[in-house]
Structure 1
Amino acid sequence: MSKRVSFQHSRRPSLSRVRGAVVAAGLGTSMVLGVGAAIAAGTTGAPGTANLISTGAADSVAEQAAVQAKMAKVAKAEHAAAKKVAKKAAVKKIAAWETPVRHYVLSACFGNDGARWAHKHSGQDFAVPIGTKVEAAHSGTVVKAGPNGGGDGPAYGNAIVISHGNGTYSQYAHLSRIDVHIGQTVKTGEKIALSGNTGNSSGPHVHFEIRTTPNYGSAINPVSFLHKEGVMV
């Protein structure tokens, strides 16, 4: 009898510990599941925990929405600024000046004198092979085009004069071929002729002038003019 009682007493504490462990594990699982449910639904689990998590999540979403709205506003402003800059660049490009030929060697300069000229040299010579493409230095309207210097005299050979408005004209001489006609509108960089060696010329080149009128005798230094327009010669 004493042995049986002793046996039963020896097992009871062990069973109690097992049951306690099971209950504790169950409570732990319930707490974990309760918190998870609270996060998912915002209503279950411990009331205080659920409300805290729900409020935090709402604040986080609101903050993110505010940040995204601010970023979108900044991106829109940057896009508008970039578009404005691009528009200004496009206008500037249209208004830009350039040299009448792309690849050249400078020869006779404005103001040179000597036996080669009856008067001082009235333009800048760009030495290039015959047949080199000649481009309009700026947009405008052709006012002279043809042999005999387009009306300025045989020394110029085949020549073109373009009006650019505001009392500014450009002249291109000693051409082998003319590809424009009087009254034609041209753009900056547009092909207008081919270089040559016509008229009073000692070798293939393009004689280039900037004038204040369409006629001979009104030329100014074309290199200085182009420099003011941002063109390095």
Structure 2
Amino acid sequence: MSKRVTFQHSARPSMSRASGAVVAAGLGASMVFGAGAAFASGTTGNADTAALAGAATADSVAQQASAQSKAAEKAKAGKADTKEEAAAKKKAAAKKKAASWEAPVSKYELSATYGTGGGRWASKHSGQDFAVPIGTKVEAAHTGRVVKAGPNGGGDGPAYGNAVVVKHANGTYSQYAHLSKIHVKIGDRVKTGDKIALSGNTGNSSGPHLHFEIRTSPNYGSAINPVSFLNSVHVNI
């Protein structure tokens, strides 16, 4: 009798061990599906401890997923902000450029300077010459309105050849002469850097170049030193 009882007791696994085996098997399956590797299949620890560990692993995965989602949203928002900032900077740069001055051509060599004497001029040289090949793009040195454009110096005389004069808001005028082609007409509004003509060798010219003046009126005889003026508006040539 006592032996049979002893045999039955030793053959029956404890409830604790049976539960531990079930939990361990479950954790092993979870590991296969990526829930974590905190426990290996076959673990026979306490059921409550295993359950807590599983919950902790699931919570860690959830936290990681949440963090990744937030990071993705932040990155997306950052890109949107960057585009908005880029658009704002582009607009500000365009506004700044319109308000600024620049040289009338981008690549050049300086030749005859303002105030130079010689037989080529009725008096002293009234502008600054930029030696450039025929067909070089001539740009508006500043925002303004075209008040002269055409042959015969735009009305200033044949010595200038084809010429353009632009009036600016600060009361000054810029003049561009010896042009091969004119791309603007009287009354046109131009911005700093706009293409207004192509350089040439028309009029009283000893070779291909752009004659550039800064004037206090639209007419011949009111020119001031263009290099000094450009320096005063932060353009060094």
| Deviation (angstroms), 1:134 | 2.8
Q: Does 1:120 align with 2:124?
A: yes
Q: Does 1:160 align with 2:164?
A: yes
Q: Any idea what SS the aligned residue of 1:46 has?
A: helix
Please tell me the residue identity of whatever aligns with 2:74.
M
The match for 1:31 is: 23
Task: Specify every segment of 5 or more residues in structure 1 that has no aligned partner in the other structure, as ranges.
Answer: 1-8
| Deviation (angstroms), 1:230 | 4.7
Deviation per residue, 1:177-230 (Å, 9 max, x gap): 433321123344443333333333222221001223212233233233334545
| Deviation (angstroms), 1:150 | 1.9
CA contact (8 A) 2:97 2:192 kept: no
CA contact (8 A) 1:135 1:192 kept: yes
Please tell me the residue identity of whatever aligns with 1:64.
A
The match for 1:102 is: 106
The match for 1:215 is: 219
More helix as a share of residues:
1
Whole-angstrom distance in 2 between the partners of 1:66 and 1:130: 61
The match for 2:38 is: none
Map 1:182-193 onto structure 2 (within 5 A).
182-193=186-197
CA contact (8 A) 1:177 1:196 kept: yes
Q: Any idea what SS the aligned residue of 1:142 has?
A: strand
RMSD value, Cα: 4.3
The match for 1:6 is: none
The structure 2 residue matched to 1:49, chosen from 47, 52, 57, is 52
Whole-angstrom distance in 1 between the partners of 2:86 and 2:182: 41
TM-score by length of 1: 0.67
Please tell me the residue identity of whatever aligns with 2:134.
I
| Deviation (angstroms), 1:118 | 3.3
CA contact (8 A) 2:164 2:177 kept: yes
Whole-angstrom distance in 1 between the partners of 2:195 and 2:231: 22
Give the length in aligned residue pairs. Answer: 215
> Relative to structure 2, which stretch is displaced further, 182-191 or 135-144?
182-191
| Deviation (angstroms), 1:108 | 0.6
Change (3 A) 1:57 1:205: closer
CA contact (8 A) 2:134 2:209 kept: yes
Whole-angstrom distance in 1 between the partners of 2:86 and 2:68: 26
Change (3 A) 1:34 1:201: closer
TM-score by length of 2: 0.66
Map 1:50-199 onto structure 2 (within 5 A).
53=56, 56=59, 60=63, 64=67, 68=71, 71=74, 75=78, 78-199=82-203
Question: What percentage of residue pairs aligned between the two structures are identical?
Answer: 58
| Deviation (angstroms), 1:24 | 8.1
Change (3 A) 1:67 1:207: same
Q: Any idea what SS the aligned residue of 2:149 has?
A: strand
CA contact (8 A) 1:175 1:197 kept: yes
